């Protein structure tokens, strides 16, 4: 990973991306990449053991990147490079970015009708700020956030539509990404919200017939 990023805070010095802290998911992805490389014969058993030990205790992106630098590019964090600019235009269509997409540095979004949905819950975040220039004449722009992702829409002008953004989180939540949205809204909407909880499973025909209670939804930690 390359490039310089600015940490959020009270005038903190700039930090290179390699010094940003890695998460459990980041380590798990690199571990899987190393195991695949060993299965392809690119790493010996001894090399795999050595790299796995480092990967499981790595604290920064730089440590993880060093473990895969000599391996072919794969779907791991160490190979993710953000684009400078991504443009999205919707004219009656539905456009989505979800899963393991790499968050760019800037986005230009034009919605004349239809919808654009940006889901940040599993996105690869490699810099602390994303600037979005949005023009929503009709239709919707939806940002699906997670703890640590903050949305600022103070620079959006509104004609007859509406903008809905959740209040800032408490000081105990670490900052992952600040999304600055500017532009204008005609009769459309810009919404930022966390993902909705999973729906409970539907009753089977026999459960409905016997009037059995609806099964509980499976949630994390249960």
Same domain, 108 and 185: yes
For 77, the token pair is 């964090």
For 189, the token pair is 């909407």
Same domain, 140 and 102: yes
Nearest-10 crossing angle of helices 24-39, 45-57 = 170
Q: Which of 22, 45, 79 is the last residue of a domain?
A: 79
Residue 207 within a domain: no
pLDDT of 163 over the 60 cut: yes
What size, in residues, is the chain? 222
CA 94, 100, 102: angle at the middle one, nearest 5? 85
For 116, the token pair is 């654009």
pLDDT of 51 over the 60 cut: yes
pLDDT digits (tens, 9 = 90+) for 1-47: 333 333 344 444 555 667 778 888 888 888 888 888 887 788 888 89
Residue 209 within a domain: no
**CB atoms inside a 10 Å sphere around CB 63:** 18
Q: Which of 58, 79, 100 is the last residue of a domain?
A: 79
Same domain, 59 and 22: yes
Q: How far apart are CA 176 and CA 79, in angstroms?
A: 19
pLDDT given for residue 24 in this prediction: 85
Q: How far apart are CA 149 and CA 169, in angstroms?
A: 9
Same domain, 42 and 129: no
What proportion of the chain, given as a percentage, has pLDDT over 90?
40
Residue 114 in contact with residue 90, Cβ under 8 Å?
yes
Residue 202 within a domain: no
Same domain, 72 and 100: no
Same domain, 72 and 98: no
**CB atoms inside a 10 Å sphere around CB 43:** 20
Q: How far apart are CA 190 and CA 179, in angstroms?
A: 13
Same domain, 155 and 169: yes
Give pTM, 2 decimals.
Answer: 0.59
Residue 129 within a domain: yes
Same domain, 114 and 135: yes
**What residues pair up with 108 in beta bridges, in sequence order?**
87, 133
What burial letters (b/e) apply to 179-203, b meaning 16+ CB within 10 Å?
bbbebbbbebbbbbeeeeeeeeeee
Please give the residue range of the domain that contains residue 188: 85-193
pLDDT digits (tens, 9 = 90+) for 102-137: 899 999 999 999 999 999 988 888 788 999 999 999
**Distance of alpha carbon 142 from its chain centroid, rounded?**
13
Residue 51 within a domain: yes
Q: Considering only 73-77, 133-137, 169-173, 194-198, which range has the smallest mean pLDDT?
A: 73-77
Residue 218 within a domain: no
Residue 61 within a domain: yes
pLDDT given for residue 16 in this prediction: 61
Same domain, 95 and 59: no
Q: How far apart are CA 208 and CA 222, in angstroms?
A: 25
Query: How many independent structural domains does the chain possess?
Result: 2
Q: What φ, ψ does residue 134 adopt, rounded to 5°?
A: -115, 140
Residue 200 within a domain: no
Q: How confident is the model at residue 79 (pLDDT cuts 50, 70, 90)?
A: very low
Residue 132 in contact with residue 107, Cβ under 8 Å?
yes
């Amino acid at each position: 990973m390359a490039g310089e990023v600015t940490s959020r805070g009270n005038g903190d010095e700039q930090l290179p991306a390699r010094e940003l802290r890695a998460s459990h998911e980041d380590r798990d992805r690199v571990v899987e990449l190393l195991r695949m490389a060993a299965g392809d014969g690119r790493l010996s058993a001894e090399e795999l053991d050595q790299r796995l030990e480092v990967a499981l205790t790595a604290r920064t992106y730089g440590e993880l990147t060093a473990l895969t630098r000599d391996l072919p590019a794969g779907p791991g964090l160490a190979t993710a490079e953000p684009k400078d600019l991504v443009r999205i235009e919707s004219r009656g269509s539905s456009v989505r970015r979800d899963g393991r997409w790499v968050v760019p540095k800037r986005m230009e979004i034009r919605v004349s009708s239809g919808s654009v949905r940006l889901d940040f819950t599993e996105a690869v975040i490699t810099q602390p700020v994303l600037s979005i220039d949005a023009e929503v004449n009709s239709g919707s722009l939806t940002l699906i956030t997670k703890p640590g992702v903050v949305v600022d829409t103070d620079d959006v002008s509104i004609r007859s539509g509406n903008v809905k953004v959740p209040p800032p989180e408490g000081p105990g939540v670490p900052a992952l990404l600040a999304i600055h949205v500017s532009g204008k809204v005609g009769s459309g909407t810009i919404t930022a919200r966390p993902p909705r909880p999973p729906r409970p499973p539907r009753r089977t025909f026999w459960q409905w017939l016997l009037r059995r209670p609806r099964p509980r939804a499976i949630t994390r930690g249960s």
